[in-house]
Chain A
Amino acid sequence: KAGVTQTPRYLIKTRGQQVTLSCSPISGHRSVSWYQQTPGQGLQFLFEYFSETQRNKGNFPGRFSGRQFSNSRSEMNVSTLELGDSALYLCASSRTVDNSPLHFGNGTRLTVT
């Protein structure tokens, strides 16, 4: 079956703009989580959604937001972009929110200039 799909694959934005990233989970997976990956910082947790409800949120400013739709697809939005937001944004899906393995997409590489 199809894996986790993230679009777009690459994105270049300027400071102050906003951006929306999209994630389609594996069919049947109801949990979607988002991570920011930067060199030397590993994967930092942004938020987790299950059945359209945000279950948990990481330590990121309010400029970072997300949502999940009834078909489990998810979007995350970053407003008022800053240079430090340049990163690889990874989406992962899993069946539930317990110890189920995460299945990651290939990510969206965001560059802010």
Chain B
Amino acid sequence: GQSLEQPSEVTAVEGAIVQINCTYQTSGFYGLSWYQQHDGGAPTFLSYNGLDGLEETGRFSSFLSRSDSYGYLLLQELQMKDSASYFCAVRTMNSGYSTLTFGKGTMLLVSP
């Protein structure tokens, strides 16, 4: 089966930079995605990495190393509104079937 590991909680202050790591063990790896979920809300898509390297979208960047089965989400210039849960998710393709498996999430708490 698939397994993903990410820290359960991270704390940081406004204006800082924080990195949320995600390691995975899977077969048929296709890509790594990141989703943000505010308390009581719907998860929203942040980024996708299909190839090794860094993808940048405004204050958020995501990195993937397929050889290390590792990725991270980098949040810069943290704002209070970034307090939320962040989920990494791996897309796998096996026997023609595609599955998106989520990690258990990292709760980010940004303080003033």
Contact = CB atoms under 8 A, between A and B. Distances in A.
A4 B98 CA distance: 21
Interface of B: 30-31, 33, 35, 41-45, 48, 50, 87, 89, 91, 97-105
A110 interface: no
Contact of A105 (B42, B98, B105): B42
Interface in A71-113: 90, 92, 97-99, 101-107
24 contacts: A4-B42, A35-B102, A42-B102, A42-B104, A42-B105, A43-B43, A43-B89, A45-B100, A45-B101, A45-B102, A48-B98, A55-B98, A56-B98, A92-B43, A97-B98, A98-B98, A99-B31, A101-B33, A101-B45, A101-B48, A102-B35, A103-B45, A104-B42, A106-B41
B104 A40 contact: yes
Contacts of B48: 99, 101
A105 to B, nearest CB: 6
Nearest to A50: B98
Contacts of B98: 48, 55-56, 97-98
A66 to B, nearest CB: 15
A70 interface: no
A56 B105 CA distance: 23
Given A56-B97, A102-B100, A42 B45 contact: no
Contacts of A105: 42
A102 B91 contact: no
A25 B101 CA distance: 20
Nearest to A104: B42
